[in-house]
Each structure stands twice: as C-alpha cells, then as structure tokens.
Amino acid sequence: MIQDVMDDAGVRMGKAIEALQRDLGSIRTGRASPSLVERLNVDYYGSSTPLNQLAGISVPEPRLLVIQPWDRGSMGAIEKAIMKSELGLNPTNDGQVIRIAIPALTEDRRKHMVKLVHGHVEEGKVALRNIRRDAMANIKDLMNEKLIGEDEERRAEHQVDELTKRYVNEADQVGRSKEHEVLET
C-alpha cells in the first residue's frame, strides 16, 4: 500500500520533470532548435494544430531553422503563427520552405529569458510540491483507515520527503542547465 503511494508519486514527479524540460525547450537561446517552434499552434483549416504535425522542421545551420510544410497551402498560416508567437522571429518564405534566421540574443533579452527559465522551474517545483501533498494525504488516509501504523506513516512521510527533495534538485539542475545555455554567447 505504501509502496503503491510511493510508486505513484515517483511516476507523477518524473512526468512533472519531463513537462519542465519540454517547457524549457521552447525558450529561445542563441541557437536554432526544432523545439522552439514544434509546439506552436497553427490555425489550419479552422482547427488549432501543432506545427510539428504540419511540417518537417530541420536545423541545417546553428542559427537557421527550415520548415518544410507537407501541404503548401498551409505556408501562410504557419508564417502567421510564427509571427504571432512571442519568439520574436521573422520567417521568410520562398514558396517551397520557410526559413527562420535565429538572431543572436542581446544582453537584455538573455536576462529576460533567464527570468522565464526561473519562472518555469518554479512552476515545476510547485507541481512537485502538489504531488508531495497528494502523497502525504494518501498516507494519512491509510493511517486513518488503520491500514498502517504510526511508525509506518512517519517512515512513509520521510520517504516522500526524500523523493520530493530528489526531484526538486533535479528541477534545479534542469533550470541551471537551461540558464547556462541561454547565457552562452
């Protein structure tokens, strides 16, 4: 029973870290990366569709993204979605592919991106603490239903705390890594 609670909390915390990594992948650094635009929603024939389902995205050079739509009729919608995004990128269209030159970040823009990274990391930590709270409540329920004793309850709470610390440290490490990537020139 306690192991089920621990396993559930561990799986959920792992998913929270994966979500954090996905969110941080969409934050622009000085380098081109398909993750910058792959999750952009494009208004494609009246439905909101992720860009990676409409086109192939490649990085032929460190500062260039190339988007090759599978349907050429969607090029205008893709360009519009890129321009409306908060990435500050200007796509160019040659009729075949959309090219996006990734400009170098200014110092002010880097500082702004670092603040965004910190915000995403903090959201990830909040998610981890919410999972911890749920696990603690499940343990209390087991205790109230007399399925475990007080000693087992304290031991399980300690295990949940240790698990939470491990994942919070992992979230911090992911954030530091992304921050270092943003600050690189």
pLDDT of residue 25: 78
Confirm if 120 and 174 have CB atoms less than 8 A apart: no
Cα–Cα distance measured from residue 115 to residue 122, given in angstroms and rounded to the nearest whole number:
11
Confirm if 153 and 139 have CB atoms less than 8 A apart: yes
For the stretch 137-158, pLDDT in tens is: 999 998 888 888 888 889 999 9
Helix segments in 26-92, DSSP class H: 75-84
pLDDT of residue 123: 93
Q: How far is Cα of residue 29 from the mean position of the Cα atoms in its chain?
A: 14
Whole-model pTM?
A: 0.71
* pLDDT tens track, the chain, 185 positions: 888 888 999 999 999 999 998 888 777 666 777 877 877 888 888 888 888 888 888 888 888 889 898 888 888 888 888 888 777 778 888 888 899 888 777 888 788 888 888 999 999 999 999 999 999 999 999 888 888 888 888 999 999 999 999 999 999 999 999 888 888 75
Per CATH, domain 2-25+106-183 is 1.10.132.20 = yes
Per-domain boundaries in the chain = 2-25+106-183, 34-101
Cα–Cα distance measured from residue 127 to residue 125, given in angstroms and rounded to the nearest whole number:
5
Query: Which of these, 176, 126, 146, 104, lies nearest to 16 by C-alpha position?
Result: 126
Confirm if 32 and 64 have CB atoms less than 8 A apart: yes
Q: Could you tell me the fold of the domain covering 34-101?
A: Gyrase A; domain 2 (3.30.1360)
